[in-house]
């Protein structure tokens, strides 16, 4: 029997990203190869076709490039810290804990709203060392359930832009106060993208999307939010164009990579603390 997913608003974006990962996985030369997403889509009773909007074909590559880059950073951290704690904040229906080859001593926590976590538990297995927590990431109570005596990797994919700047500051303050050392990896948009989504909020809502609230002007924004953070690197997603198997999209992303305003409109960031 298939599982129901009656999501709206920001929760519905988890279905959009799941479907895009599943769609991209069917490519002969898939960037991400997320067969877990493809299997999960088959187990959910939902009309995924209605989520597809103009530009969806290209969005599947954007999502795959983002996820693969964050996967690589996560794998690098776990090679150096095989006993780490991983916090995947706003995990949605992402299968990262299954895609990566986790060291036996890693403790992995996927955190998202209760309805999302309830669906996760029905469509994905839970390997040893893995646990889900149904809570808003801005509710500090869930942190009491996390061991704080290990290095921590904080993954905030597709999250920072959905929170207000004050919510991001509070969340990161709580995390750095609890853990002694670790890394933060996430993705962020330039200010003009945030302003555009706010102007288009009604149109976006009709298509299942929500406007964004927090921009990343440059990496020092995050260091100003929290002086414990130290910038390590950032990667514009269009700079990864060589990984795209479809020629038309590879060419478009390569051109975007040559223009400053489009090269830096969407980046993945990595910080240590």
Stronger pLDDT, 6 or 239, i.e. the higher one:
239
Average pLDDT (217-237) is 96
**pLDDT mean over 181-192:** 97
Average pLDDT over residues 175-180: 97
N-terminal to C-terminal alpha carbon distance within the chain: 45
Yes or no: say if 248 and 242 are a contact pair by the CB < 8 Å rule: no
Please check the confidence at residue 186 and state whether its pLDDT lies above 80: yes
Q: How confident is the model at residue 9 (pLDDT cuts 50, 70, 90)?
A: low
- Distances from the Cα of 201 to the Cαs of 95, 113, 193, 258, in angstroms? 29, 22, 12, 29
Percent of the chain with pLDDT over 90: 82
What is the pLDDT, as a whole number, of residue 206?
Answer: 64
Q: How far is the CA of 240 from the CAs of 158, 168, 250, 271, in angstroms?
A: 18, 27, 9, 20
pLDDT at residue number 56: 59
pTM (2 d.p.): 0.94
Provide mean pLDDT across the span 207-220.
85
Average the pLDDT over 235-262 and give the result: 96
* For residues 25-43, average pLDDT: 94
Nearest partner of 14 among 96, 108, 116, 110, judged by Cα: 116
pLDDT of residue 54: 47
- Greater model confidence, 52 or 31: 31
pLDDT of residue 50: 73
Domain ranges of the chain: 3-272
Average pLDDT over residues 69-81: 98
Name residues whose C-beta falls within 8 Å of residue 198's C-beta, 6 or more positions apart in sequence.
211, 212, 213
Higher confidence at residue 206 or residue 106? Answer: 106
What is the pLDDT of the chain when averaged over all its residues? 92
Lowest mean pLDDT among 27-41, 204-218, 243-257: 204-218
Q: Can you give the pLDDT at residue 47?
A: 84
24 alpha carbon, distance to own chain's centre: 16
Report whether CATH 3.40.50.150 matches the domain 3-272: yes
> In this model, does residue 251 exceed pLDDT 60?
yes
Percent of the chain with pLDDT over 70: 94
- 123: closest CA among 182, 26, 45? 45
Q: Is the pLDDT of residue 100 over 50?
A: yes
Residue 116: its H or E element: helix 114-123
Kindly tell me if the per-residue pLDDT of 209 is higher than 80: no
Nearest one of 87, 15, 98, 68 to 187, comparing CA atoms: 68
């Amino acid at each position: 029997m298939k599982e129901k997913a009656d999501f709206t608003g920001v929760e519905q974006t988890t279905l959009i990203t799941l479907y895009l990962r599943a769609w991209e996985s069917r490519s002969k030369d898939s960037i991400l190869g997320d067969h877990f997403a493809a299997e999960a889509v088959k187990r959910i009773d939902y009309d995924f076709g209605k989520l597809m909007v103009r530009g969806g074909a290209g969005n599947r590559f954007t999502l795959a490039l983002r996820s693969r880059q964050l996967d690589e950073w996560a794998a690098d951290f776990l090679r150096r810290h095989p006993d780490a704690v991983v916090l995947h904040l706003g995990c949605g229906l992402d299968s990262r804990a299954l895609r990566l080859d986790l060291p036996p001593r890693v403790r992995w926590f996927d955190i998202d709203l209760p309805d999302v976590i309830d669906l996760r538990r029905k469509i994905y297995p839970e390997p040893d060392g893995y646990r889900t927590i149904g809570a808003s990431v801005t509710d500090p109570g869930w942190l009491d359930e996390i061991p704080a005596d290990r290095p921590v990797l904080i993954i905030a994919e597709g999250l920072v832009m959905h929170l207000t700047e004050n919510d991001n500051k509070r969340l990161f303050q709580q995390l750095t106060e609890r853990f002694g050392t670790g890394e933060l990896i996430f993705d962020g948009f330039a200010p003009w993208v945030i302003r555009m989504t706010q102007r288009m909020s009604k149109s976006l809502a009709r298509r299942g999307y929500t406007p964004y609230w927090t921009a990343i002007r440059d990496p020092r924004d995050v260091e100003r939010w929290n002086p414990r953070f130290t910038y390590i690197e950032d990667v514009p997603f269009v700079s990864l164009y060589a990984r795209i198997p479809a020629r038309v999209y590879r060419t478009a992303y390569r051109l975007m990579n040559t223009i400053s305003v489009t090269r830096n409109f969407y980046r993945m960031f990595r910080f240590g603390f």
